[in-house]
Amino acid sequence: MEATFLWNHQGKKSSAGAIAGGVVAGVVALVLAVVLFLFYRRRKAKQDALLPSSEESTRLASAVSMQKVTPSSSQADGASPAAGITVDKSVEFSYEELFNATEGFNIIHKIGQGGFGAVYYAELRGEKAAIKKMDMQATQEFLAELKVLTHVHHLNLVRLIGYCTESSLFLVYEFIENGNLSQHLRGTGYEPLSWVERVQIALDSARGLEYIHEHTVPVYIHRDIKSANILIDKNTRAKVADFGLTKLTEVGGGTSLQTRVVGTFGYMPPEYARYGDVSPKVDVYAFGVVLYELISAKDAIVRSTESASDSKGLVYLLCFRSHHVQAGFGVKCAISPLTQNDRTL
């Protein structure tokens, strides 16, 4: 702050006024300095609260270092299918590299928003990538996804390129440029899928699920299979994504475990939604809902315009139609009108 003193012929009065003005200016400057100091301390404390402590960073680094890529026993003895399987270790990126690649996580690079954070497009080391920036509270989901994707590699599972644990939690994936299945089915900026393409997407997704259910040790259960988590590449081939809720177990597919209920309503089987019983059947049920979405292009939850409590799931509607067949009702009544003229049907 700049203070100006005007001297005039009144002598002492002017001098006294100048001194008083100087004192007032000094007090104001001191108060401003204190306010700025307190604001800076508060802001720094808030930023520090968002950043992992040194102890937490050490714990995360230790946990991440334990995610080693080793072939499963089924791979070692040649029992698993070889087609589509690759083996490569994820790379640890620096925060600075991710920051620069996204121009400071600028909104112009933002391509999505999920339950655990935002997703940004970037080009890293000559490869197109999708960077998921996760909240520090999502440590469990971060480690779960890192654990799965550093152990499991398949053509129909999204590939993890690397990760970063500086300042926040980051997962870096291959960039899948053609959106997700939900977007294609809802007609949001995409041409309607042909029946040949729909069948291929169903097969690709099924192969990805079969691999994590049948050909890995331990068995992995995705727990959030839905059309929004099936990505479509430029060749209209599908990859299963978003393994943040994945459950791993040493047991076979015939045994159920009890756990907290997570996932997306409309895709959950009744025994899981009510009691938390989890097994590979949870994913199979959800995949069945996705298949019906592929046929009907309807949402997993058909919401009522009158009351939210009257909303029904696709499975309920399918059962209702199958038990109340009326005159004129045929298979085509359940088929998306966008594809009813497809000659491949």
The CB-based long-range contact list for 314-322 (8 Å cut-off, 24+ gap) reads 314/266, 314/289, 315/288, 315/289, 318/292
Mean pLDDT of the chain: 75
Segments making up each domain of the chain, as ranges: 94-175, 181-334
Query: Of the candidates 75, 99, 95, 94, which has an alpha carbon nearest to the alpha carbon of residue 85?
Result: 75
Query: Of the candidates 170, 288, 157, 311, which has an alpha carbon nearest to the alpha carbon of residue 226?
Result: 288
Q: Which positions are annotated as active-site residues? A: 224
pLDDT in tens, 25-84: 554 455 455 545 555 555 544 444 444 455 555 555 555 555 443 333 334 444 333 344
pLDDT in tens, 172-195: 999 999 999 999 998 778 888 999
What is the fold, at CATH topology level, of the domain defined by 94-175? Phosphorylase Kinase; domain 1 (3.30.200)
Binding site members: 133
Taking the C-alpha atoms of residue 26 and residue 159, their distance in angstroms, rounded to an integer, is 62
β-strands 169-174, 127-134 pairing:
antiparallel
Phi, psi at 84, each rounded to 5°: 85, 0
What's the longest Cα–Cα distance across the chain? Answer: 108
Give me the architecture of the 181-334 domain, per CATH.
Orthogonal Bundle (1.10)
Binding site members for ATP: 133
Which residues, 6 or more positions from 33, have their beta carbon under 8 angstroms from its beta carbon?
none
